[in-house]
A and B are shown apart, each in its own frame.
Chain A
Amino acid sequence: MQSRNDLALFPKNSPTPFLLPTLVGAAIAVAIPVLTLGWLSLVQWDLISPVRWAGLDNFGRVLSDAAFLQSLGISFYISIWATLLQLAIGTLAGYLQWTKASRLVSGIYLLPWFAAPVAIGVIWKWLLTPETGILSKLLGTRLDILTSGSLAPLAVASVSAWLGFGYTAMFVAAGLRSIPTDTIEAAKLDGASGRQIFWGVQLPQLGTLALFLVVTTSLQTMGLFDIVYVLTGGGPLGATDTAALHIANSALYQFDVGGSAASAVAFTALEVIVFLVQVLVYRRLTRRYRA
């Protein structure tokens, strides 16, 4: 990707007009909110009284706030389950699509991914809610999933995986198809079983794709908002109060703008750390494969 790039096709022309719209867009979508966030994290503001400089007080406050730290833990917990489920089911589905592809099947897998997460949340709420939920009615027994502090986070993670596994499957199937068949044939000649070939030959060759899928899926599920907002609203008793919900609520409903901004900075830092750890682990693993 980089190497052939070094030869510019248009050495005499300026790239500025091509880049300008995206740079303006990035300034609006990224630079302005990030700078505003940095400033808000250093002040005290309740949306009414004048803004007061607070220095690093907000950070000290939120980092010792049990509710915020718990919301980070909840996001982390939901994200791990959602990512594991989505990648496991998605890889299985993608593998089956690779051995014999059906466009109808992959289309069906992708249906929830095209749907609005809010709509998905509504559907599952109607299915799972204990009082008026349709599964409770059909089964003739009260389903206490969304009202259980231990099951509700897993329900959120499952719905997220339900929504996303078709996307994973699509990439896994395409990735498997892009592996040269001669390595697989060679392994077959050596008498390897289908299972051995998958774990020993195909999976290692999916390296970059696997990293891409792990990173994007875990980032996306760490920041989960829409599904949780509709499905549980953070309940029961804060059991699914993810960091995203906590940050939005503390700014807009508890009017603690500085605290919310400091929480947002801490949350982003956590995401960057998770990302870096994933890249490091990936490097370590691929080095072992090469050796």
Chain B
Amino acid sequence: MPSLPLTRSLVQSLLCLAILLPLTLLVLGAMSTEADLLRGNLFQPSLSTLLDNLNAVAWGGKQGQAGLLAAVGNTAIIAAATVIFQVGSSVLAAFGFAFFNFRFKRAGYAALIFSYLIPPVVSVVPLFFVATDLGLKETALGIALPYLLFSPYALVMLRGRFESIPRQLLQQGILDGLGPWKTLWYLVLPLCRPFIAIIGLVTFISAWNSFLWPRLIAGSGFPQVTVALGALQGQYSSHWNLVLAGTLIALLPAIVAFAVGHRQLMPRFVQESQE
């Protein structure tokens, strides 16, 4: 392991460069015209070209494919609903597993967590046939429903965080006459608010980023950003300026997460989840 400060800075700079270089090229590419990209000229980026490119992918095309702008709205709705229900359901279950005793607790918890071993594609294909049978194809409900109430990731993280709350604090509350619901509402939630906010952020982003399920179920009925981007890439394989502008749109939440997240949220999150 390198210990010299110089080596350390050098390696860190190289790693940052490895991340930032492709992303910089992406931004330059989205600000270039198609002709420039075909000539390999990335170095005349302009804001007005970027706006032209965004404009070209924002509104629906002639062949009836969805514009990315509509997809952004649709995806935000699905992701927001997923955050509310998934985090809500996981907070309740984490509270149940942290502070109650019941039969089959360990086995039940293990079964919930080990469902993570099932590869996504394995459950998505049968779900597709079930959802199609129920008439949920190309509907918002069809996109959101399968994963609306269950997140093993949020469950594990929240349970760990809840169990790190000093017991005496909660016992004091119980002595003062708080039942489980009031303990959750007046003690546990206020104490864990920043942690839950991060779980919410991560949930939003993973819902926004998901592709496999929406690609099967969303279709053009309720277009999603990642699906629209995949289609854009397939359709305009030579119009890279447009595809790259679409990619920028798909990266919006990631950029927001970076802007708000890197300063305090993530370090604190990891620290708290380790406890």
Q: Measuring CB to CB, which residues of chain A are less than 8 angstroms from any residue of chain B?
A: 1-2, 4-11, 13, 15, 17-19, 21-26, 28-30, 32-34, 36-37, 40, 89, 92-93, 95-96, 99-112, 114-119, 122-127, 132, 134, 137-138, 140, 162, 165-166, 170-171, 173-175, 177-178, 193-195, 198, 219, 222-223, 225-226, 229-230, 243-244, 247-248, 251-252, 257, 260-261, 264-265, 267-268, 271-272, 275
Q: Check B198 for interface membership: any CB of A closer than 8 A.
A: no
B123 touches A225 (CB 8 A): no
Given contacts A116-B209, A267-B119, contact A33 B127 (CB under 8 A): yes
A116 touches B22 (CB 8 A): no
Question: Which B residues are CB-close (under 8 A) to A93?
Answer: 12, 15
Q: Check B77 for interface membership: any CB of A closer than 8 A.
A: no
The interface bits of chain B over 208-221 (1 if a CB of A lies within 8 angstroms of the residue's CB, else 0) are 11011000100000
Total A-B residue pairs with C-beta atoms closer than 8 Å?
302
Q: Check B25 for interface membership: any CB of A closer than 8 A.
A: yes
Question: Which B residues are CB-close (under 8 A) to A92?
Answer: 1, 11
Given contacts A93-B15, A134-B37, contact A123 B247 (CB under 8 A): yes
Q: Which segment, of B47-55, B56-64, B163-171, B189-197, faces chain A?
A: B163-171
User: Of A110, A229, A271, which is in contact with the most chain B CB atoms at under 10 Å from its CB?
Assistant: A110
> What's the Cα separation between A255 and B133 when bound, in Å?
16
B12 touches A264 (CB 8 A): no
Q: Check B155 for interface membership: any CB of A closer than 8 A.
A: yes
> What's the Cα separation between A148 and B26 when bound, in Å?
24
Q: Which residue of B lies closest to A275 (CB)?
A: B117
Query: Is the interface on chain B under 10, 10 to 19, 20 to 34, or 35 or more residues?
Result: 35 or more
Q: Shortest beta-carbon distance, A166 to chain B, in Å?
A: 8
Question: Which A residues are CB-close (under 8 A) to B211?
Answer: 116-118, 225-226, 229
B266 touches A110 (CB 8 A): yes
B42 touches A29 (CB 8 A): no
> What's the Cα separation between A244 and B215 when bound, in Å?
14
Q: Is the interface of A mostly helix, strand, loop or mixed?
A: helix
Given contacts A22-B150, A112-B19, A119-B250, contact A103 B120 (CB under 8 A): no
B40 touches A134 (CB 8 A): yes
Give which listed residue, B40, B101, B119, contacts A271 with CB less than 8 A. B119
Q: Shortest beta-carbon distance, A242 to chain B, in Å?
A: 9
B42 touches A138 (CB 8 A): yes
B117 touches A111 (CB 8 A): no
Q: Shortest beta-carbon distance, A185 to chain B, in Å?
A: 16
The interface bits of chain B over 249-269 (1 if a CB of A lies within 8 angstroms of the residue's CB, else 0) are 011011001100111101100
